[in-house]
């Protein structure tokens, strides 16, 4: 019942050598040019003003139309594909995918208990693994919207302030601890009103779809800069997302009970039906100079403590609002065992226990030239390669 769709239909923006940015739908190894389709007039009854909305460099105008329109267009496209009519289909290899959404606010959550606990054990070895607020509040912070890039974009190793031990002066140098974070990214389609909290029942109607998200992190810079206001530049050099957004609608049948119960019981405003996605997740690493990928982590989206509804309810409970294009990262998703962690920080215990890959390569953190690929059942992959620091 939670099987992935064998031929998902996912949305994005792209351009080709001969024409500018527009909206498309990726399907098998092809891209349906929705702007071209709209020009034929076959979408106007399901998407008023279709040609204008689909001849845009991002999905935002379409996402703002709301769930009834999303569903109607989706059903129409499925019907057209099923009918095997003559459609404006392009080979995926012939299109250049663009960042599919114009990002509003980028919120990073911290919803995996294992990830938060491991982070605490590593970063604050003398304290409790989890801060006292963690089981009460869906902790989050704001990322830098302009750092979000589309899958396939190279990621340059950043400079930053860091120091080797816990004392002494910092240095300004290329980061020595570049990491990935394996996350789901939830894309907001329908804005909420300022100062009008979203209820559990309404929450999912605001969500257009889901991407894989790699929140690249420079752990040495993070350790030094993050006190007391949280991570800043250590997570602002790049965040990669899938080029194609999977409609939430097509993932709803993959909801299952989460991996653990919430104890203590959440405060009343956070109570409601709780579920998680049963989506297998995988991180593959292709080390510099190698043609071969190695799977370094396998986990599942079930390992999140706070549900999507709880997070949206919390986010809007105190005056903050949602806008079209807002991106909510789940935070790194870690399972209960080593090998199911969503970051190298955890997989190598802050670099002290390097990964041993089958070809003999060792990795504590990422090296220049390494490529990281996030994959998940049904979602579009998210990949990026580490470039050397600028000279």
Does residue 185 touch its own copies according to CB under 8 A? no
Q: Choose, by CB under 8 A, the member of 74, 144, 294, 338 that binds its own copies.
A: 144
Does residue 321 touch its own copies according to CB under 8 A? yes
Give the CA dihedral 277, 106, 380, 67, nearest 10 degrees.
70
Nearer to its own copies, 88 or 191 (CB): 191
Residues of this chain, 199-218, that bind its own copies according to CB under 8 A: 218
Q: Choose, by CB under 8 A, the member of 1, 133, 263, 358 that binds its own copies.
A: 133
Binding segment for its own copies among 25-33, 85-93, 251-259, 315-323 (CB under 8 A)? 315-323
* 8 Å CB contact between 366 and 179: yes
* 8 Å CB contact between 50 and 58: no
Q: Choose, by CB under 8 A, the member of 159, 259, 262, 272 that binds its own copies.
A: 159
Does residue 165 touch its own copies according to CB under 8 A? no
Does residue 117 touch its own copies according to CB under 8 A? no
**215/235 Cα distance (integer angstroms):** 7
Does residue 271 touch its own copies according to CB under 8 A? no
CA angle 47, 277, 132 (to 5 degrees): 120
CA angle 313, 72, 210 (to 5 degrees): 40
Left, alpha or beta for 369 (phi > 0: left; psi -120 to 50: alpha)? Answer: left
Does residue 160 touch its own copies according to CB under 8 A? yes
Q: How far is the CB of 101 from its own copies (least distance, A)?
A: 15
The DSSP 8-state label assigned to residue 363 in this structure reads: E
Q: How far is the CB of 356 from its own copies (least distance, A)?
A: 30
Residue identified by tokens 């350790």 is: 223
Within 13 Å and on the Cβ side, how many CA atoms surround 255?
Answer: 12
**353/284 Cα distance (integer angstroms):** 18
Nearer to its own copies, 191 or 354 (CB): 191
**305/130 Cα distance (integer angstroms):** 13
Q: Does the bond joining 320 to the residue before it have cis omega, within 30 degrees of 0?
A: no
Does residue 66 touch its own copies according to CB under 8 A? no
Q: Which two tokens stand for residue 228?
A: 């007391």
Does residue 102 touch its own copies according to CB under 8 A? no
Q: Choose, by CB under 8 A, the member of 105, 249, 250, 368 that binds its own copies.
A: 105
Q: Rule CB under 8 A: which residues touch its own copies?
A: 104-105, 107-108, 110, 120, 123-124, 131-133, 136-137, 139-147, 156, 158-161, 169-172, 175, 194-195, 197, 218, 221, 224-234, 236-238, 264, 267-269, 314-315, 317-323, 326, 390
């Amino acid at each position: 019942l939670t099987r992935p769709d064998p031929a998902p239909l996912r949305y994005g923006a792209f351009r080709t050598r001969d024409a500018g940015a527009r909206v498309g739908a990726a399907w098998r190894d092809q891209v349906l040019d929705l702007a071209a389709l709209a020009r034929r007039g076959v979408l106007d009854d399901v998407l008023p003003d279709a040609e204008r909305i689909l001849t845009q460099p991002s999905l935002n105008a379409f996402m703002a139309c709301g769930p009834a329109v999303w569903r109607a267009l989706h059903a129409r496209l499925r019907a057209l594909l099923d009918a095997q009519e003559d459609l404006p289909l392009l080979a995926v290899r012939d299109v250049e995918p663009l960042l599919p959404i114009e990002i509003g606010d980028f919120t990073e959550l911290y919803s995996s208990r294992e990830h938060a606990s491991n982070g605490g054990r590593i970063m604050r070895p003398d304290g409790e693994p989890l801060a006292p607020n963690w089981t009460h509040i869906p902790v989050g912070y704001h990322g830098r919207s302009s750092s979000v890039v589309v899958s396939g974009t190279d990621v340059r190793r950043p400079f930053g302030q860091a120091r080797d031990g816990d004392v002494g002066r910092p240095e300004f140098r290329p980061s020595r601890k570049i990491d990935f974070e394996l996350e789901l990214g939830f894309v907001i389609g329908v804005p909420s009103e300022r100062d009008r909290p979203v209820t559990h029942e309404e929450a999912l109607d605001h969500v257009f779809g889901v991407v894989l998200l790699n929140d690249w992190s420079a752990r040495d810079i993070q350790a030094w800069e993050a006190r007391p206001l949280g991570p800043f530049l250590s997570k602002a050099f790049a965040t990669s997302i899938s080029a194609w957004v999977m409609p939430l609608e097509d993932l709803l049948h993959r909801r299952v009970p989460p991996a653990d119960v919430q104890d203590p019981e959440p405060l009343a405003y956070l109570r409601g039906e709780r579920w998680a996605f049963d989506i297998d997740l995988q991180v593959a690493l292709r080390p510099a100079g190698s043609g071969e990928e190695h799977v370094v982590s396998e986990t599942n989206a079930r390992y999140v403590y706070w549900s999507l509804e709880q997070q949206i309810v919390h986010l809007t409970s105190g005056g903050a609002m949602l806008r079209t294009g807002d991106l909510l990262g789940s935070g790194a998703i870690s399972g209960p065992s080593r090998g199911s962690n969503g970051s190298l920080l955890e997989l190598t215990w802050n670099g002290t226990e390097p990964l041993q890959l089958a070809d003999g390569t060792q990795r504590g953190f990422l090296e220049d030239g390494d490529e990281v690929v996030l994959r998940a059942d049904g979602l579009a992959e998210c990949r990026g390669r580490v470039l050397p620091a600028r000279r």
